[in-house]
Amino acid sequence: MQLIHDRAEGYFFIRAIRDEAVVIIDRELRASFLIAPDRIVEAWPIARVDDLDAAAVQVILDQHPEVAILGTGRRQQFPDKALLLPLLRQGIGVEVMDNSAAGRTYNLLAAEGRKVVAAFILPG
């Protein structure tokens, strides 16, 4: 899926999403990562939804988002509800969706200037 978006000064945006990779501006990432308007966290060692644990969720919490998006790969897969509770308890909105929908949603919220973090699970 190709996403076209003009580069806005000062934030990272997603240009394209494929099953095995996500292109951020002009850089291709092939392993799971987090993206926020002002940073990319590449050291997120999650290859599938079942790998999610408290430490992986803490990396999302450490970004202090208003909204957290979890892209679960080619199709939407919900993690254990207990893993999302720390986010919800801090008033962080949580959305779980497939990677294509997560990319579109992230780009929209980032363009609006929202404090959003998207975590993408890639098989690499």
CATH of the domain at 50: 3.40.1230.10
pLDDT at residue 4 in the model = 43
Q: Return d(Cα 58, Cα 60) in angstroms, integer.
A: 5
pLDDT at residue 40 in the model = 96
pLDDT at residue 9 in the model = 56
Examine residue 6 and state whether it is found in any structural domain, yes or no: no
pLDDT at residue 124 in the model = 74
Q: At what angle do helices 81-89 and 54-61 cross, to 10 degrees?
A: 30
pLDDT at residue 5 in the model = 43
Q: Which domain holds residue 114?
A: 14-120
Please calculate the CA angle 27-30-35 and round it to the nearest 5 degrees. Answer: 65
Residues of the chain with pLDDT under 70: 1-9
Q: Among candidates 88, 83, 116, which has minimal Cα distance to 102?
A: 116
Q: How far apart are the first and last CA of the chain?
A: 18
Q: Please give the backbone phi and psi of residue 98, each rounded to the nearest 5 degrees, phi first.
A: -70, 165
pLDDT at residue 95 in the model = 98
Cα-based torsion angle of the residue sequence 57, 63, 68, 71 in order, rounded to the nearest 10 degrees? -70
> What's the pTM value of the predicted model, to 2 decimals?
0.91
Examine residue 70 and state whether it is found in any structural domain, yes or no: yes
Total number of domains in the chain: 1
Q: Return d(Cα 124, Cα 116) in angstroms, integer.
A: 24
Examine residue 4 and state whether it is found in any structural domain, yes or no: no
